[in-house]
Structure 1
Amino acid sequence: MINPIYTPAPARYDSGMKYRRCGRSGILLPEISLGLWHNFGDVNPLSDSMAMLHYAFDHGITHFDLANNYGPSYGSAEETFGIVMEKSFAPYRDELFISTKAGYDMWPGPYGNWGSRKYLMASLDQSLRRMKLDYVDLFYSHRFDPETPLEETLQALVDIVRQGKALYVGISRWPAEAARKAYSYLAERDVRCLIYQGRYNMLDRADEAGGIISEAADNGVGYIAFSPLAQGLLTDRYLNGIPEDSRIALGGHLKSD
């Protein structure tokens, strides 16, 4: 059976989704975004990934968050999104807010990791090809690199915006002092940091206790939480033990202890 052409729900913006302003910017982000960290790689059925992406957009979720190494395997979540972009979302590209990142291990050798200009530029070019996009709405430095000069990483972000490959830039899980320097450096070059991404939920409030969230607010930078439900620990998923098909049972970032 040939899949019918996708048409999003006409009432997608009347489904109850609320949108919040991101820092001091013109961007409104849905209160819930869809991250493709797990469940969208080449080890997962494409039909399931497509159904989840369609469902999200049909219910007012416009923000889709990716990274170069999301999968598994590396790059495959972006490839999955690229297929859905081509088959379903292309006519609605201007309704979507798509982010990706680079900073963690991606390919072998000295130029496939961390925060060098070479790595960030090359990775984003690869991501755009995988996702079938001309640009992303937001590009993150996925982690702070203590060895590469801060100015090199940040200037790469500035130049990525000026080249038209990203509309906005952000940082993810940077330490507080480096984040403050990033906000200042980017603002001085008229490419303000749009958003800080960190892990935050009822079990992990380190970003609140450490001043990360308040510092972002003071600088007009938005804050977005990943793992807000602690990868399912804050749902009813594990109330009666560890299901065989759960993330804990399958192994990975969430451990049984």
Structure 2
Amino acid sequence: MLLNKIAGGIAALAVSLPLLVHAAERPDGRPLDVGVRLGAQISNLLTDAKWGPYPDISGPGGMLSFDVAFPVSEHFFIHPAIGLDNRNFFTYGEIGIPCAALEGEEPCGGYWEGYDVNSFFYLEVPVMAQWRTSALFLEAGPVVDILLRMNEDYILPEKYRNDRCYEDKRFGAGVVAGIGHVFGFGLSIDARVSFQFTDLVEGDKKCLTMHSEEVEMRFDPETEETTTRVLWESDEYMGGSYYKLLKYQIGIGYWF
């Protein structure tokens, strides 16, 4: 429902772009720069975790945004935008469960191989200061994002998975910087890098603790009984103290 409302709002904005261009004028009588941008990106999850909700992997994604450039002077602009940002992460795994672990459940045991997939959809809003010349432009500024939806697809059936004891953070903040070129007929190309300095997850992550133990087993031939004794055991936290995002993006756009 939320995505449908946002999609409807973006569609309405797209329809109204010509009106915005006509209505908004710069002091010199020329219209403000209003445009659209499509980007392809690689998102890198940075963490000191040994194991956890987000292993240290990279994933592809993309972004569609609507942009406005407000002129402050001939070469200096304020460049805000609003867009939909998609990030995907894939983790390959091979998991086997023996019959004994299922306590007689049917079918007995199982083996799964493939990719766990996490897909995120964000509303992203950067506000950048842009220095523009005929050759290129440089821009940088803060960026915030709001998590709209998260989809999970795991190779292990749900009844064998542990419940999540952490949550994906709904709001994030960071910085973004870019360099690019605007052609005379309105087409633009650019490259950006952004770093999100807020953590991607929050909440109690106790389920990221791995229990290890060494057990000694003894068989008594007279009683035919087997006894066990725990020699040592430990609980090691496998999560991390931070979960950050570093994103590289290339884009192509058009200024109306």
* TM-score scaled by length of structure 2: 0.21
- Structure with a larger share of its residues in strand: 2
- Structure with a larger share of its residues in helix: 1
User: Relative contact order (alpha carbons < 8 A, sep ≥ 6): 1 or 2 greater?
Assistant: 2
Greater C-alpha Rg: 2
